[in-house]
Amino acid sequence: MMKFTQYYLDCLSQASYLIGDETTGRAIVVDPRRDIDEYVRDATEAGLVIELVIETHFHADFLSGHLELAEATGAEIGYSSVAETEFPSRKLADGERISLGDVQLEIRHTPGHTPESISVVVWEHADDAVPYGVLTGDALFIGDVGRPDLLASLGFTRDELADQLYESLHGKLLTLPDATRVYPAHGAGSACGKNLSTETWSTIGNQRVENYALLAPDKQTFVDLVTEGQPPAPAYFVYDAVLNRKDRPLLDETAPLRSLTIDQATSLVEAGALLLDGRTPEEFAHGHLVGSINVGLEGRYAEFAGSVVPTDADIVLVVDPGFELEARNRLGRIGFDRVVGSLDDPLGVMADAPERTQRASRLTVSEFERRRAEIEGVQIVDIRNPGEVALGGIAGAIAIPVGQLPGRVDELDASAPTVVYCAGGYRSSVAASLLRLRGFDDVSDLVGGFGAWVEITQSVTNR
């Protein structure tokens, strides 16, 4: 009997898989995240031994857990035969079959998102006419295909990779029977594509008739479709894509974190560390340590921290008590291991040291409109992605996606009263806190974001 488990991590829109044959007790894991305890525990409870860790490609959006899983289980690490790694790895050939017992796997090289991308076809029984499913990595998503432009800076043009992706989809994946289930590596919210579904699996047949990219009538149309309108990649993507090839330190997800006094935290900041405040935008606005960047734990914490925090910076965490390890481990998922400690009792520290704290200005839509009318030269910054901006925005806004803001701050006037907005208010708090850190004295963000602005201004217009 086959054990097939999908693990879906909402905050990174990332899927990984455990596949095992319960008769033989042999199992593999595909595209694991770095905190691996769940895979090991589930395999043990099912009486399975993880023998092989397969990576569908060198991921850019997270740091894979192949090294951690290999260390914990003794499993081999498998990559495409064209992939070069700094650690021992098994080279998986196109068409290679892997037997777990009655459960069978087939490796198919499906380059395009990256040159070394592979997909894994899964048969529940060796003599089944129709495969149980196919793990497509970032080649084929539900409603989309992998973006071909992420490696443009590493020696591959997006058109070259898009051409390869077309051939992989039509020559390797769409040749599978319509009933074959499709299990991708990512879902909605991932920057690895532009039109990913909230569904975490589908079938080849459904994707054949519903996926916009697969409906392209020819290769050139496909290339044009999949290279246009992609969201900006977060700044850490290249860092992770390179680090996933390397032999690097392992994450110990249970290791205790150093608890810091305010004086210790201040000394670390003076030496170059950044204060990363993981509380909600509302809590952050009520009071925070001067110089903090706000990235709320309740959102896409690692992704946006990786968008605004340099990869070479030490990090001091400011989180509600009990969430220190969660914050550290979520940063570890993208390879941000330079967490040097967590501030002890943040609320108590702020109450006892008001001179080290400040409030953040957040404006309601009515307050924002009144401010615009009364103050000349208000600078409005739209930090949504281009695809969002294309659907509408506030007139006069300067559009800079939050992931590009650290490198484009000089395009803004630090002396101007500034209002930042996003879709709902999470990203705008990230961006506004970064601008304050960069020397902007008068920065507010819009409560409820563009959605609230549209709702209120339309209701006024329709009266």
Burial of 387-416, coded b for 16+ CB within 10 Å and e otherwise, reads ebeeeebbeebebbbbbbbbeebeebeeeb
The pLDDT confidence band at residue 461, using thresholds 50, 70 and 90, is low
Which of 27-41, 139-153, 234-248 holds the top average pLDDT? 27-41
Predicted confidence at residue 460, as pLDDT, reads 57
The residues with which 316 forms a beta bridge, in sequence order, are: 275, 341
pLDDT > 90: percent of the chain? 89
Predicted confidence at residue 58, as pLDDT, reads 96
Predicted confidence at residue 152, as pLDDT, reads 57
Burial of 119-138, coded b for 16+ CB within 10 Å and e otherwise, reads bbbbbbeeeeeebbbbbbbb
Using CB atoms within 10 Å of the CB of residue 107, give its burial: 0 to 12 exposed, 13 to 18 middle, 19+ buried. Answer: buried
Predicted confidence at residue 150, as pLDDT, reads 76
The whole-number average pLDDT for the span 17-21 is 98
Token pair, residue 181, equals: 């289930």
Mean pLDDT taken over the chain:
95
Answer for the pair 137, 59: CB distance below 8 angstroms, yes or no.
Answer: no
Alpha-carbon distance of 332 to 170, in angstroms, equals 36
Tens-digit pLDDT profile for residues 198-209: 999 999 999 999
Strand 97-99 relative to strand 26-30, pairing: unpaired
Residue 15 has pLDDT above 70, yes or no: yes
Predicted confidence at residue 201, as pLDDT, reads 97
Predicted confidence at residue 289, as pLDDT, reads 97
Predicted confidence at residue 239, as pLDDT, reads 94
- The helix/strand/coil state of 32 is coil
- Record the pTM: 0.93
Predicted confidence at residue 230, as pLDDT, reads 77
The pLDDT confidence band at residue 62, using thresholds 50, 70 and 90, is very high
The whole-number average pLDDT for the span 166-190 is 96
Residue with tokens 């390797």: 172
Residue 463 has pLDDT above 60, yes or no: no
Query: What count of other Cβ atoms lies within 10 Å of the Cβ of residue 160?
Result: 17
Alpha-carbon distance of 143 to 8, in angstroms, equals 17
Among 75-84, 164-173, 223-232, 298-307, the minimum mean pLDDT is found in: 223-232
Alpha-carbon distance of 298 to 295, in angstroms, equals 9
Tens-digit pLDDT profile for residues 334-367: 999 999 999 999 999 999 999 999 999 999 999 9
Residue 153 has pLDDT above 70, yes or no: no
Q: Domains of the chain by range and CATH?
A: 2-243 (3.60.15.10), 259-358 (3.40.250.10), 361-461 (3.40.250.10)
Tens-digit pLDDT profile for residues 392-443: 999 999 999 999 999 999 999 999 999 999 999 999 999 999 999 999 999 9
Tell me the CA end-to-end span of the chain in Å, nearest whole number: 64
Predicted confidence at residue 354, as pLDDT, reads 92
Token pair, residue 244, equals: 């996933």
Tens-digit pLDDT profile for residues 244-293: 999 999 999 999 999 999 999 999 999 999 999 999 999 999 999 999 99
Token pair, residue 191, equals: 């920057």
Residue 193 has pLDDT above 80, yes or no: no
Answer for the pair 253, 332: CB distance below 8 angstroms, yes or no.
Answer: yes
The whole-number average pLDDT for the span 113-140 is 97
Q: Which residues contact 106 (CB under 8 A, 6 or more apart)?
A: 95, 96, 97, 98, 120, 121, 123, 131
Predicted confidence at residue 459, as pLDDT, reads 66
